[in-house]
A and B are shown apart, each in its own frame.
Chain A
Amino acid sequence: MNSSTSSFKGRAKKAVGQLLAFVFFLLLFDRLLFLGVRSVEARYYRNISSSSLEDKFAAARARGEYPVLILGTSRTFDGIHPRHIYNQLGVRAFKEAFVGKGPMYSYFFYQEYRRYMGIPRVVIYGIDYFMFNITSERHWMKRFPVDLIDAHYFKAGPSRLLANKRQIDELSNLMLNNLKEQTGGDLNYQIERDWARMESYLGVPSPGKIDEAKPQHFRRQNFAGFPGKEGEYFALLIDQLQKDRVQVMLVGLPEYIGTYWTNRNHSKFRQFFGKFARRRPGVFFYNYDRPERFDLARAEFFIDGGYGFTNSHLSSAGSAILNRMLADDLRQHLGMK
């Protein structure tokens, strides 16, 4: 064996050693940091002051009957308001709609709701174009049995950090939002916790910041079909509501026209929910997210959205119009003339 061969072998050995050491430390720190993130998360959830569902239900029950339950995400939070419904129909509606409350949250929430509040007559479910593409945020899910939730959220994989990157980002965003809230910035989270404020909330005016010009190129979004991330829970919820003989209104909320065109497969979206509702007695699909049904191009009806933006929320002016239309449709499901 000559000296160049042995020096090559020596270098190769060193290289393999360094590579193995790197992989070892990478896996070690990956696990350690992941444990660290989970421990920060656990401590954080313990510390954030959030009212329990029981408190909310107790406060609501003291006020009277709630024949209507409203479920959905932030688009429903800003788009459908119990106060408008009460003003127009004289019935109370309990709203449990907020950012990060996907189908899985709604399913578990309904189990708690029927236990404490009884079975409603009508459930209004605000459906989103992206609803099968979202996961309910973990901090909301902490209100329900933990074992199931942990299994749903945390994934295994060679890198725990990579596999659970989404959960880590969610935690950091939440911590930032919470910090903002503590400095008086984010009122929405305060409303979510305060049941009485939720009942009187009528949305916010449009800040007039929507870019109305249509760019030549903008990112488009496909419709993530059923079941997607939490579609099974959506189906389970509807099954449960059917068993409870609750009338279900699936409500397609209007999107700003730029967002409407960004979300390119509206026909698939309509077809899916249309078919879904037709096959199930007691389930009805009301799609207001259509240019011929709602003036989607009026920027003052929206808080945000635009070309290239996949999400859009109604302003107080926009939601007032939607709620008038919705109240007319809701009337028949409540058996009113």
Chain B
Amino acid sequence: MAERVFNMPDLGEGLEDAEIVEWKVSEGDTVKLNQPLVDVNTAKALVEIPSPFAGKIVKLHGADGDVVKVGDPLITIDVEGAGSPAATPVEPEQAAGEEAPRREAVLVGYGVNPEDAAKRNRPRLRPPGERKAPAAGAGTAPSPGALSSAPSPGRVAAAPPVRRLAKEMGVDLTGVHGTGPSGRVTREDVIKAAGTERPAAAGAEPSMVMPSFAGPEERIPVRGVRRMIAQKMARSWAEIPHVTTFHLIDATQIEALRRELTTQSGIKVTALSVVVRALAEICREHPKLNSSYDTEAGELVLKKACHVGIATDTEQGLVVPVVRDVGDKGIVTLAREIADLVGASRERTATPEQLTGGTITVTNVGTFGSEFGTPIINFPEVAILAIGTIKPRALVVEGEIEVRSAVTLSLSFDHRVIDGAEADRAMSAVRNLLESPFRLGALPRE
């Protein structure tokens, strides 16, 4: 025996409540399944409600003339032989003792089931401007205009592909003068704006003047550094079967160490210098990374020193100054040397010696926000490491989602001499080192 509450059912008659006209049973009565219990008036119709259970009536919730809301208790019955078919209500959802689903009655069907606006399975929304803003402390590249696409009443007209170009070039359309029909911002307008905005906003950043689209075409001689880059890239790509592997790394420790050393030394210690230093450590354990492949001799030449090339973006094009004997230096020293070498390269004052002799190369593709890269190996080396943008990401830490600073490292390697497993063992070692506060902290600092 169990007490069950039968709630005022949705009678499909279009009202939210019903008036009890006359009870046909009394408390203490024994009722059979489907025995008439009560007449109720929905104002549209007089309806007789039959008992959904067999049993003894415990309580009538309301007297003749009372108005009972749909879903509120109408009658409590002590159900005999609970679980027996006779005790099973016709509508399982409206089983006694449970709140009936709160439907808004209509005249046909079960009635309206108002949706629960409480959060169920839905993403947290972010306004477009907020979402697009670069995460604080992430890449080092300034992004002019900060992509604030926060809408304003007088929004600028531009075709979606042009909007995309503007985003890619970091141009805020709001300030751009449109020269297209109806004042529409054109592709050319964005390119022009990028050319004028960048120096002002980016300070020392080399200006990136894009060629005009006016005229049929323009021919730029490929000479000097550019030609050398072209030849080198082509040879590397043609000869070396490249494979790239990607490893997402929690950058919390890198960031912590970098900040600590910056504070201590007074010079800006970059994540790049930390990674470069760690890489040298790994090259000790995995010497094949730090080698060259002599195809004529058919020999792999393992280098006994680790000289790391730093891919550097300059006005003339890609230049790779080399930091020497990285394995012998502390992080702060490396930070200083890298800054000097990059500066010299951009000012074209780097000596030939500073630009040659590398054994492995690092490229910081994250500078412009790239997540990861598939870098081309600096021939005749066999490996190159790309550092993606470091920014807060949702990482699963001990089963919980946490916002952590993270970075993807991409290692391209020469598959002729290095196997994937080997490369990934090395990268795994890189991750273990960079994520461990103890091991990272043990690297030479000064």
**A, B bound:** no
Task: Report B's interface with A, CB cutoff 8 A.
Answer: none
